[in-house]
Structure 1
Amino acid sequence: MTIEKAIETFDNLKNNTSRKVEIKIFRDFQTILSNLLERNLTNKQLEKVESQLEKIDFSPHKKSTARHFSIQLSNFKTFLKSELSLITKGYYVGIGLAIGMSLGMSIGIGFMSLIGISLSMIGGMIVGMIIGMAIGQTMDKKAEDENRVLDIQSY
């Protein structure tokens, strides 16, 4: 399936639903695909993307349409990350926050005897989040400079 055909299909799906969750998912798919059209993809990369689009099941799922396409969107983003090295906005910030928070809490536990358990864990978590966010922003900026960022928020 070509990128243009996929955009058209998601547009039809978006127009045939009234659920906000489904509309957002379809719009996110369209945004990603439009971003891919604007890039100078090689023929090989284009073939990979079109092959991945063929794997998407567009048949209606009455009960779980949002869940089904949410999983498809997540799989497509994973494909773009692994095969084309493309990421969404805020990708590294999210990872940096998670890692920084967990490492900060771990380090904070080491200072538990000095300032108390709650203050050390909270303080460590806050410091870890700040450091993780700073590192994540730096990596996001680097990816943006390399033109590897798709114009859609990571969630």
Structure 2
Amino acid sequence: MSISEAIEVFNELLKTTNSKRETKIYKSFLKILENLRNKDLSERQSPMIQEALGSLLLEASTENSKKYYKQKLSEFKAFLKEEFYFTTEKHYTEIGMVYGLIIGTGIGMLYGTFIDSILGSSMGLSMGTSLGMLFGMLYGARKDAEAKKLGRVV
């Protein structure tokens, strides 16, 4: 299935749905496909993407469209990341924020517990969480800028 055919499939799906969640998934897929169509793909990349789109079985009719296409979107993103190192916008920022939140919470709890067992743990938790999230977002934003500079954002 070509990129243009996949875009047509999702445009038709957009016309037939009333669900906001399904619309969001379809628009995410469309955005990625539009960016791929506008990107200068090599002779090796284009057939591989067409083959991947064909294997996703996008034209299949299912009972739970939202779940089906959400899974297919995840599979397609994983394929693009594994094969071509393509990522979506703010991909690293989101991941950095999650890891920063986790690590910052742990460090904040440890630090707060050493200061004071009752009051220090709540202060350490709030400071560690916010600082960890901030540093994670900054690191992720830097990685996103690097990926955009290399032309790997779709």
If the length of structure 2 is used for normalisation, what is the TM-score?
0.90
1:23, distance to aligned residue in structure 2 (A): 2.2
**Greater CA drift, 15-24 or 49-58:** 15-24
Q: Larger strand proportion, structure 1 or 2?
A: 1
AA of the residue aligned to 1:114:
I
Corresponding position of 2:21: 21
Corresponding position of 2:36: 36
Corresponding position of 2:114: 113
Q: Is 1:134 the counterpart of 2:135 in the alignment?
A: no
Q: Distance in 2 between matches of 1:126 and 1:56?
A: 39
Corresponding position of 1:48: 48
If the length of structure 1 is used for normalisation, what is the TM-score?
0.90
1:21, distance to aligned residue in structure 2 (A): 1.9
Gaps of 5+ in 2: none
AA of the residue aligned to 2:87:
I
Runs of 4+ in 1 over 3 A off after TM superposition: none
Count of aligned pairs: 149
Q: Distance in 2 between matches of 1:92 and 1:135?
A: 8
Gaps of 5+ in 1: 151-155
1:96, distance to aligned residue in structure 2 (A): 0.8
Aligned residues with identical type, % of pairs: 32
